[in-house]
Amino acid sequence: MKISFCTQAMNRTEHVRVTLKQNLKAVHDYERVEFILVDFNSTDGLEQYVKDELQEYIDRDILFYYKTDDPKYYHNSKAKNLSHRLSTGDVIVNMDADNLFCNDPYSESFSFWIIKMFLSYGNKIILNPIYQSSVGGRIITSSKTFYDLGGYDETFEAWGWEDADFYQRALLYGAIPYVIDEKFCCAYHHTNRIRLANYDPKVLETYNENVQSEQQRADIVDSYFLYTTQDMIKYFGTKNYDSYRRHIDERIIKVNPNGFQKYKVYKNFSTEGIVV
C-alpha cells in the first residue's frame, strides 16, 4: 500500500518552510510514501526554496514538485484536485500547507498509522480530525473513493466548505468515518489575512459588502480564529452552503460532471510542461 501526502500552495512559502521538511523527516518508511507539492503559481520564492532545500528528496523520488503558471488566483478545490490527480498512491492524504504530522520521530509514524487503519477497516473509510478545525482539511481516503466522488467540488469558492462537502458526500457514498489520532494533528497557526490573500477579489465582494466597518474587517483578517458556519455564511454568502445542503438533500455523491479543470504543469523544474 502506497500513501500520497498532497500539499498545494500559492504564496505560502513561509508555511512550507516550516511544515514540509519536518513532515518529510517524520516519515520512517519512504518506500511506501510519496509527497506531492503543487506550486499554484507562487511568486514568493517557493520554487527556489524547493530547489535549495528539498532537492535531496526529489532525487530520491520521495518528493515530486509540480508548478503551474496558469492560475492567477488561488482556488482550494481546483488546487486540491490537481495535487490529488498527480498522486500515484492507493491512499491520498490532503495536507494543507500549514499542516504538520507532529509525531515524535521515535514513535509510531503517521504513515504507519494510516496503513494500519486501512488494513484494519478496509479501503472504504474516510479519516478526518473532526474535533480540530485548524486541521479540518486533513482528509484521508483511498484514491478510488476520491475519483468515485469526483474530487472536491470546483464550483465552491473561498475555503472550508469544499472539505465539509467532500466529507458529507463520502458518507453518502458509504465511506465509514474514523477520527485521525490527535497526536498527528498539528498546524502552523496564522492569521486570516494570509488565508484570504490570494483569492479572486470577486470571491471577497460579499465579504466586503457584509463587513463594512474597516475596524471590524481588520479585526477579522488579523485574527487567528477560524470562522464558524454562521460566520462563513454571513461574510461570504450562501452560495457554497446552498450547494453543500443540496448535495446532502438530493444525495448527490459525484460532482464535477464535466471533469476537472485542466492545468499545464512542470514536474521537478522541467521546462517541458504536461497538461493534466
Instruction: Please tell me the predicted confidence (pLDDT) of residue 129.
Output: 81
User: Regarding the domain delimited by 3-190+253-275, which CATH topology (the fold level of the hierarchy) does it fall under?
Assistant: Spore Coat Polysaccharide Biosynthesis Protein SpsA; Chain A (3.90.550)
Amino acid found at 14: E
- Residue among 4, 15, 1 at smallest CA distance from 197: 15
Q: Is 36 exposed, middle or buried (0-12, 13-18, 19+ CB in 10 A)?
A: buried
pTM greater than 0.95: no
Q: Which residues of 106-135 are buried (b: 16+ CB within 10 A; e: fewer)?
A: eeebbbbbbbebbeeeeebbbbbbeeeebb
pLDDT of 132 reads 55
Provide the pLDDT for residue 221: 59
From 73, 76, 79, 2, select the one nearest 33 (Cα to Cα).
2
Say what the pLDDT of residue 199 is.
Answer: 85
Question: Rounded to the nearest 5°, which phi and psi values hold at 220?
Answer: -70, -50
Q: Is the dihedral of CA 200, 206, 209, 212 positive or negative?
A: negative
- Walk along the chain (276 residues) and give the pLDDT tens digit of each residue: 999 999 999 999 999 999 999 999 888 778 899 999 999 999 999 999 999 999 999 999 999 999 999 999 999 999 999 999 999 999 999 999 988 887 565 557 889 999 999 999 999 999 998 655 567 788 999 999 999 999 999 999 876 689 999 999 999 999 999 999 888 888 777 666 677 778 888 877 766 666 656 666 566 655 656 566 666 666 677 888 899 999 999 999 999 999 999 999 999 999 999 999
Q: What is the pLDDT of residue 144?
A: 98
Domain boundaries defined on the chain: 3-190+253-275, 192-236
Residue 116 · residue 184 · CB < 8 Å: no
C-alpha cell recorded at residue 274: 504536461
